[in-house]
Structure 1
Amino acid sequence: MTITSLDDLIRSAATADQSPKLAIARSGDAFVLEAAMQAYAAGVVEPVLIGDMDATRRIAEDLGADISDLRGVHLPDDEAAVREAVRMFREGEAALIMKGAVSTSTLLKAVLDKTNGVPPQGILSHVTVFENPHSGKLMLLSDAAVNIRPNLQRKVEILRNALIVARTLGIAAPRAAVLAATEKVNYPAMPSTLDADLIARMGREGTFGDAHVAGPMALDLALSAKAAASKRFHNAVAGQADILITPDIESGNVLYKCLNTLLGLDVAGVVVGSSVPIVVPSRGDSPRSKLLSMALAVYLATRE
């Protein structure tokens, strides 16, 4: 199924005969528990609650949610809860992992643990999927949550991960813009412009397969054909980008929060690069965005 809207993610995820189990570490968080119960009601996932079960039950009662049919594991400690979530995935008791009331770094540390974690398939990176508010088409943004200041090689892997997600969603020949503050190389003042230029050269040499990769490119040129024309910037990606690759986590996180806070857009985001898609919702995400993130994780997990 080609995904052309965020609603398609929910419809696709809810078609399974049995909802995949989602291990939540830790479950004692009202924002996360509310979204998980919405996903459960929609047939997207079956939550497995890991954490302080007394607190989880109190929160569920306040929300008016019935969790009596769900499996619960009482582990109030952060590290014990994330280790249990990873163990459940490793042993087939859960198909997905979601961050609850723990830090992203604590969860990813357990996932990457060399002895008891989940072997990575490259580097981990966060991919956001959203609908362009002007055209309505799906777009991807990376990385807003995991890689703080990626070097050239990490940016290449971040792009590879985003391309995999785009193709899985049905974008056969994705157009990726490697973002910077300008479309010209300005080194050493702006090192990201040189990285973007080198990645674009790799794209032209076929490193990324059937994809158009351009950079450095300012955001307006990536999104607006009119802006690109006014600057006489001619490129197959200009005004038609499917993927936005940001220079670092700061710019990625600011852009992400502009989407969901300033523009009020719903977004779906997961951490990819491991054999398990990991849902790491932001507290500022709407309940629907959290639901969409779970649906995206289900969609990716069932098509690997």
Structure 2
Amino acid sequence: MSADATRAQFPSKYERLIAAAKAVPPVPTIVVHPCDESSLRGAVDSAQAGIIRPILVGPEAKIRNTAKNVGLDISNFEVVNVAHSEEAAAKGVELIQAAKGEMLMKGSLHTDELMRAVTVKVGGLRTDRRISHVFVMDVPAYAETLFVTDAAINIFPDLDAKRDIIQNAIDLYNEAGFGSLPRVAILSAVETVTTKIPSTIDAAALCKMADRGQITGGVLDGPLAFDNAIDVEAARIKGIKSEVAGRAQILVVPDLESGNMLAKNLAYFAKADGAGIVLGARVPIVLTSRADTPRARMASCAVASLHAHARRRKAPAVAA
């Protein structure tokens, strides 16, 4: 079945996200070094849709020349002039600290360049929570919006890091309007616990941590192999009975390498779109790439916007 046919069978999840984000006020967003067409267009399109209110940070002449060359109107946007991408990343973090924005958005600089400014010990945007990445994926053949985490930040996460990775994803799912109590599958190569595969032991420990209230807001099961995490019949054949097996909404991968391969397999074999967002910092961070479709870029902004609004509602009131 073609991607178009399966999208018709399971209507786009992203359209619902984008519609929800349009229904709330646009979020002030610091866009770091948007000096190529794809990153600048992503910010402009999301602004025109009423999802974000961008502040563009980077070499002003380069940003304006890019806009002129590709026919984008940025005349109503504030532009903060800095010399180069490293300075843009530092300035973007500074503007977040000064409460000028509630979201950070990556432009045409390397992810590690932006994340160095975010994670620096003095003056960064760290919190007590481990920073992690979530791909919010619209897989045409799958009825659920699928989260894949972490496929971009934590290379070999230990048990404590995996706890935060899972909690970040659960919080995003609950706060961005996807629903409540998401079904979380902790993936490994097999669905039984064995000392020969350490990720199975981590999965079992994480499930027990959820039982003890160390992870909240979701329903966990693991270890689960990929097939019995997302396919009901595969779970039935293996005799796995749980609320999660065959119907997972969040897939927790053992490490970055396996997660990145899984996300790219879904993108290129299953024709999925993947919206990227970084969590665990003081504000949500939109990570886009040149390979993203316009729809995926806008969905990334929509997810981050909804998350930012939820965080604002939860923030304690400041006394007058």
TM-score normalized by the length of structure 1: 0.92
Q: Provide the rounded CA distance (Å) in 2 between the counterparts of 1:63 and 1:264.
A: 27
User: Aligned pair 1:159/2:158, yes or no?
Assistant: no
Q: 1:303 aligns with which of 302, 307, 310?
A: 310
Q: 2:132 matched to which residue of 1?
A: 125
Alignment of 1:141-156 (within 5 A): 141-156=148-163
The DSSP-based 3-state class of the residue aligned with 1:23 is strand
Shift of 1:153: 1.1
Shift of 1:135: 4.2
Unaligned runs of 5+ in 2: 1-11, 312-320
Q: 2:4 matched to which residue of 1?
A: none
User: Aligned pair 1:57/2:64, yes or no?
Assistant: yes
Q: 2:244 matched to which residue of 1?
A: 237
Unaligned runs of 5+ in 1: none
The DSSP-based 3-state class of the residue aligned with 1:120 is coil
Shift of 1:226: 0.3
Shift of 1:145: 0.8
Shift of 1:289: 0.7
The DSSP-based 3-state class of the residue aligned with 1:290 is helix
The DSSP-based 3-state class of the residue aligned with 1:61 is helix
Shift of 1:131: 3.2
Alignment of 1:1-304 (within 5 A): 5-17=13-25, 19-168=26-175, 169-188=177-196, 190-304=197-311
- The code of the aligned residue for 1:98 comes to M
Per-residue CA deviations over 1:209-254 (Å, capped at 9, x if unaligned) read 3532111111110000101111222222110111100001111111
| Mapped contact 2:27–2:101 kept (Cα < 8 A) | yes
After alignment, is 103-112 or 236-245 more displaced?
103-112
- The code of the aligned residue for 1:127 comes to V
Q: CA RMSD in A?
A: 1.8
- The code of the aligned residue for 2:258 comes to S
Per-residue CA deviations over 1:5-27 (Å, capped at 9, x if unaligned) read 3222212222234x222211111
- The code of the aligned residue for 1:13 comes to A
Q: Provide the rounded CA distance (Å) in 2 between the counterparts of 1:132 and 1:30.
A: 26
Shift of 1:206: 4.0
The DSSP-based 3-state class of the residue aligned with 2:46 is helix
TM-score normalized by the length of structure 2: 0.88
- Report the identity percentage: 34
The DSSP-based 3-state class of the residue aligned with 1:173 is coil
Q: Give the direction of change, closer, same or farther, for the CA distance of 1:116–1:209 in structure 2 (3 Å limit).
A: closer
